[in-house]
Chain A
């Protein structure tokens, strides 16, 4: 075979391999639906999504996942309230203010925080943080929504921080200099020029960070308390979506109603993160920086 023909063959080969990610994603979607949809033979979609009772092993069983959905939403929102300021502020500091020596130390710290296994953070929440907040707030159990949110926040910070940092860092120096030359202080330049210019990147970072928090399993499995009920206080135990799947799959008989219900929870979780990702992709694509002037 002529090497030019080899080249064409190789090219097609690489294309085929590159399609693998699409194939994998499609397979994931297909199997989630294949194993999840059958639950709708037992409950209506409305009952499933908005039912307030999750007693999958009762007879007759209740398959309402509203408490789980709310559990996920609450822990994500609370962790966001902690992680967004922490992550974005760290990013701004690293990208615009920190001297090189400081950022050389802080960046590996953020990377190490990102590489911390979720099971270790969940474990830490269980054995260190839980007793601590139990005493501090004088509450019966330390494994609750607050604990899980706090732990989740530290899992989301590295994602938010590293992506925001790229965005803040890539603001053209010309913009910054223009503002400083007009007599603005460094801080005013940050607030009025640099942050607005990198806002789309920061938004992408926040969305991806929260998406990671929604999907995170081990932390909410170990530190959230695991009660499948609608919480009324920040110190109530909750059972977010991923925790239910992880905790119950072992006891759900193969292709039983419960098994299908857990896959259906997987669909809900997947749709949540899928929407988050589409949104992030859309923002970063639509607002990608074209020229120096495009804010």
Chain B
């Protein structure tokens, strides 16, 4: 485990108005590893994830204290440009959310808004991203059809391709398979495994088997607090804390 830390938070707190949703969370995310965030519903794992690309900025009345750092840059530094941050830290959402545009336009969208104009480059990157997301063979003949005509699993892989197209360094995934059937879920999991060779992935899941299958490290959240973080194997076989053990063995939550 000598790979460098790509992103980390230190004593991160998050408030909705007076309500504190995240308490002093510190985690290191190692480069090219998959970290899973687990915990019962409402434990703050999704909120925490959204702090990492400042998606929570969209909610009025929120406040963040502590540090969240990407490489050496504090992402809550007022001088930091949130648009650039979001390009570097991509996100895949719980429900597949393709735009009501064609498959090609969906993937090309991120490139276009980031100022890429060269058609040849766009075409190449779209193909590469779709291949990376393991959906190229299924859609290569219908790139100009609406993305809304795809199945749920295909839509989600399209959304992953769309996120990959802007070449992010970190990919946040918020329960990316929760709306999918088992076969589609398996495909997404295989994909996560392949992508982790190039990207740092942080995935929120309520499914512990999934966390065990896909992740290198796992962090367990409860009531807005980080209870335990460790190598996935260790956390699931020899958890240090009773609370963690209770959760992973299904005694509460």
Q: CB within 8 Å of B: which residues of A?
A: 3-4, 7
B76-109 interface bits toward A, Cβ cutoff 8 Å, 1 = contact, 0 = none: 0000010110000000000000000000000000
**Complex Cα spacing A4 to B81, Å:** 8
Top 7 A-B pairs ranked by shortest CB distance? A4-B83, A4-B81, A3-B115, A3-B83, A7-B83, A4-B84, A3-B113
Q: State the main secondary structure of chain A at its contact with B.
A: helix
Closest to A2 in B: B81
Contacts of A4 in B (CB 8 A): 81, 83-84
Expressed in whole angstroms, the minimum distance between the Cβ of A277 and any Cβ of chain B is 27
Contacts of B113 in A (CB 8 A): 3
Closest to B84 in A: A4
Q: CB within 8 Å of A: which residues of B?
A: 81, 83-84, 113, 115
Contacts of B84 in A (CB 8 A): 4
Q: State the main secondary structure of chain B at its contact with A.
A: helix
Closest to B83 in A: A4
Contacts of B115 in A (CB 8 A): 3
Contacts of A3 in B (CB 8 A): 83, 113, 115
Expressed in whole angstroms, the minimum distance between the Cβ of B231 and any Cβ of chain A is 39
Closest to A7 in B: B83
Closest to B113 in A: A3
Q: List 7 A-B contacts (CB under 8 A).
A: A3-B83, A3-B113, A3-B115, A4-B81, A4-B83, A4-B84, A7-B83
**Complex Cα spacing A4 to B113, Å:** 11
**Complex Cα spacing A7 to B84, Å:** 13
**Complex Cα spacing A3 to B82, Å:** 12
**Complex Cα spacing A4 to B84, Å:** 9
Expressed in whole angstroms, the minimum distance between the Cβ of A11 and any Cβ of chain B is 13
Expressed in whole angstroms, the minimum distance between the Cβ of A290 and any Cβ of chain B is 15
Expressed in whole angstroms, the minimum distance between the Cβ of B116 and any Cβ of chain A is 12
**Complex Cα spacing A3 to B113, Å:** 9
Contacts of B81 in A (CB 8 A): 4
Expressed in whole angstroms, the minimum distance between the Cβ of A117 and any Cβ of chain B is 37
Closest to B82 in A: A4
**Complex Cα spacing A4 to B83, Å:** 7
Expressed in whole angstroms, the minimum distance between the Cβ of B77 and any Cβ of chain A is 15
Expressed in whole angstroms, the minimum distance between the Cβ of A27 and any Cβ of chain B is 32
Expressed in whole angstroms, the minimum distance between the Cβ of B80 and any Cβ of chain A is 11
**Complex Cα spacing A7 to B81, Å:** 12
**Complex Cα spacing A4 to B114, Å:** 11
**Complex Cα spacing A92 to B83, Å:** 49
**Complex Cα spacing A251 to B234, Å:** 93
Contacts of B83 in A (CB 8 A): 3-4, 7
Expressed in whole angstroms, the minimum distance between the Cβ of B91 and any Cβ of chain A is 19
Expressed in whole angstroms, the minimum distance between the Cβ of B113 and any Cβ of chain A is 8
**Complex Cα spacing A3 to B84, Å:** 11
Contacts of A7 in B (CB 8 A): 83
Expressed in whole angstroms, the minimum distance between the Cβ of A26 and any Cβ of chain B is 28
Closest to B81 in A: A4
**Complex Cα spacing A203 to B115, Å:** 52
Closest to B114 in A: A3
